[in-house]
Amino acid sequence: MNTTVSLLRTEAGRAPGDSDLTGLIGELVTRSEEFRTAWAKHNVRLHHTGRKAFRHPVVGEITLDFDAMELPAQPGLTLTAYSAAPDTPAHDALQLLAAWAATTDASADPDRTANR
């Protein structure tokens, strides 16, 4: 949570006039004690590579590596790619999610699978 809040604080510093971002931060501060405590630390952080843990409702805890790249043609935008090394629990979880998503998509739109 602290890293995410620090990254959000970085974005808030880049765009102080963004009313949507300010509104989101205000909502998080009022609804989450954990967020409020982390926000009050005033930590600012920008990582271009690292590891991030997620909690997904289908596969549970999954830790992925990430690489972030600023997009020169779109100042202020960053593309972040998440990945998992082969033969790891995280890779297996991503494979399961891909299969689950494909099954969910196929059942939601039968015409889509017929056209493949």
Q: In a structure prediction context, what are the per-residue pLDDT tens digits for the chain, which is 116 residues long?
A: 777 888 888 888 878 889 999 999 999 999 999 999 988 888 776 668 888 889 999 899 999 999 988 888 988 788 999 999 999 999 999 999 999 888 877 676 656 555 55
State both tokens at 79: 């593309």
Can you give the residue ranges of every domain in the chain? 1-46, 47-116
